[in-house]
């Protein structure tokens, strides 16, 4: 085999691109029997949806994979957690289609940034355009009494790790025993998004107003 200097080899970039293309073609030739490689509202486990998105990317590449595939995928900030027997997974899908070569007229397509919460142990899921709504639906499922929990005082709402013992002390004094468990939320008097992992118990900080929850 003739040796060539890779630095000066003509067409090296093209050759590498062809190799990536060949790899994708090899994936495309492998039958896929998992979750759809498209937006779906059917129930699938988080592992099935993540495997499908991985498959899509190895077949079609990472470029613009989120807006082109419209598939469910992980958010940057959410990490899966559990509350009692329930699992909490938050996935998102971008269905705001701007692709000239796509035709979604034959299927229900919301054309919005979608949120999905999944509880795998119960095969439960909920989908909405509203992130706060899916988070509340998940808490209705996993801890139906969450709306009756006392609101954490503003002075105890802090991400400072040094505050955590005081926050846990307040929960120990004010929460019913069945809500003093890992993954349980706290309530905060404010507007805006519900934020995962801001409860010292590992669950959400849920934004509530005097009138009720925010949407």
What one-character DSSP code corresponds to residue 152? P
Of 119, 143, 187, 208, which lies in the binding site for Zn ion, with binding defined by CB under 5 A?
A: 119
**Separation between Cα atoms, residue 43 and residue 206, nearest integer Å:** 25
Instruction: Decide: is 97 part of the binding site for Zn ion (CB under 5 A).
Output: yes
Axis-axis angle for helices 46-60, 12-28 (nearest 10): 140
Residue 64 binds to Zn ion (criterion: CB under 5 A): no
Contact by Cβ (8 Å): 143, 83: yes
115 binds Zn ion (CB under 5 A): no
Of 18, 54, 84, 99, the one binding Zn ion by CB under 5 A: 99
Task: Evaluate whether 83 touches 204 at the Cβ level (below 8 Å).
Answer: no
Closest to 67 measured CA to CA, from 33, 38, 41, 44: 38
From the list 8-16, 17-25, 33-41, 93-101, the region that binds Zn ion by CB under 5 A is 93-101
Least spacing, CB of residue 215 vs Zn ion, in Å: 22
Residue 21 found at the interface with Zn ion (CB under 5 A): no
The reply to whether 102 sits near Zn ion by the rule CB under 5 A is yes
Tell me if 139 contacts Zn ion by CB under 5 A.
Answer: no
For Zn ion, which is the closer residue by CB, 120 or 152? 120
* Residues listed for the chain: 215
**Min dist. Cβ of residue 142 to Zn ion (A):** 6
Report phi then psi at 118, rounded to 5: -125, 135
Beta bridge partners of 207: 188
Q: Select from 23, 28, 122, 129 the one that contacts Zn ion (CB under 5 A).
A: 122
Rounded distance between C-alpha atoms, residue 58 and residue 11, angstroms: 24
User: Count of residues binding Zn ion (CB under 5 A)?
Assistant: 6
Does residue 107 belong to the site contacting Zn ion (CB under 5 A)?
no
Q: Interface residues with Zn ion (CB under 5 A)? A: 86, 97, 99, 102, 119, 122
């Amino acid at each position: 085999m003739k040796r060539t200097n890779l630095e000066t080899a003509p067409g090296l970039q093209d050759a590498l691109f062809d190799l990536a293309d060949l790899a994708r073609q090899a994936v495309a030739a492998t039958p896929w029997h998992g979750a759809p490689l498209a937006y779906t509202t059917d129930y699938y486990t988080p592992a099935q949806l993540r495997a499908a998105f991985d498959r899509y990317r190895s077949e079609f590449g990472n470029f613009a994979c989120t807006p082109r595939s419209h598939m469910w995928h992980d958010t940057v900030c959410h990490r899966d957690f559990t509350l009692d027997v329930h699992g909490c997974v938050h996935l998102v899908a971008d269905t705001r289609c701007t692709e000239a070569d796509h035709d979604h007229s034959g299927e229900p397509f919301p054309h919005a940034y979608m949120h999905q919460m999944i509880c795998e142990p119960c095969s439960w899921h909920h989908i909405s355009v509203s992130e706060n709504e899916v988070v509340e639906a998940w808490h209705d499922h996993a801890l139906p009494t969450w709306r009756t929990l006392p609101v954490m005082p503003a002075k105890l709402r802090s991400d400072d790790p040094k505050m955590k013992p005081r926050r846990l002390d307040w929960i120990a004094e004010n929460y019913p025993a069945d809500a003093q468990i890992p993954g349980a939320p706290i309530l905060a008097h404010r507007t805006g998004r519900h934020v995962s992992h801001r409860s010292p118990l590992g669950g959400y900080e849920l934004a509530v107003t005097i009138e009720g929850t925010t949407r």
